[in-house]
């Protein structure tokens, strides 16, 4: 089922990319597809970590975070933003998400954002 959802999302993005009138690729901003009525932006980030201990010759490499961000708008009225974490092998987690409908310049209805906990890593003190 998980692969079916991922495949469906990939096919939806591919279909939109084929019919997009404008495609932009910008560093640190991702890939954007747009036409007159709809725009979709796809971006993300990866956090990699390598640990090496010279005394025990211990070396470790892991990827604690792989985030995929998807944002877009339709007809100038409907906007959305979602961010998922793919770092865990067994699950995909929605880390952030919001949906907004703009009635006019003065009235907007927003659901979200979904909050997530910021991780604070303990630091070692060297004396």
pLDDT tens for 84-123 read: 887 776 677 777 888 889 888 888 888 877 645 443 434 4
How far does CA 55 lie from the centroid of its chain? 39
**Is the full-model pTM beyond 0.75?**
no
Residue 55 CA to residue 114 CA, distance in Å, equals 44
Q: Is 83 exposed, middle or buried (0-12, 13-18, 19+ CB in 10 A)?
A: buried
pLDDT tens, 31-66? Answer: 888 888 888 888 888 888 899 888 888 888 888 888
User: What's the pLDDT band for 11 if we cut at 50, 70, 90?
Assistant: low
Residue pair 92/99 in contact by the 8 Å Cβ criterion: no
> Exposed, middle or buried, 22 (CB in 10 Å: 0-12/13-18/19+)?
exposed
């Amino acid at each position: 089922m998980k692969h079916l959802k991922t495949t469906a999302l990939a096919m939806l993005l591919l279909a939109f990319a084929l019919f997009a009138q404008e495609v932009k690729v910008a560093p640190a901003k991702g890939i954007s597809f747009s036409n007159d009525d709809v725009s979709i932006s796809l971006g993300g980030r990866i956090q990699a970590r390598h640990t090496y201990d010279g005394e025990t010759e211990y070396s470790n490499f892991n990827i604690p975070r792989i985030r995929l961000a998807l944002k877009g708008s339709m007809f100038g009225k409907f906007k959305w933003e979602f961010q998922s974490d793919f770092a865990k092998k067994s699950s995909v987690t929605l880390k952030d998400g919001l949906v907004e409908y703009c009635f006019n310049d003065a009235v907007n209805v927003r659901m979200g954002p979904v909050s997530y906990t910021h991780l604070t890593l303990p630091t070692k003190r060297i004396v």
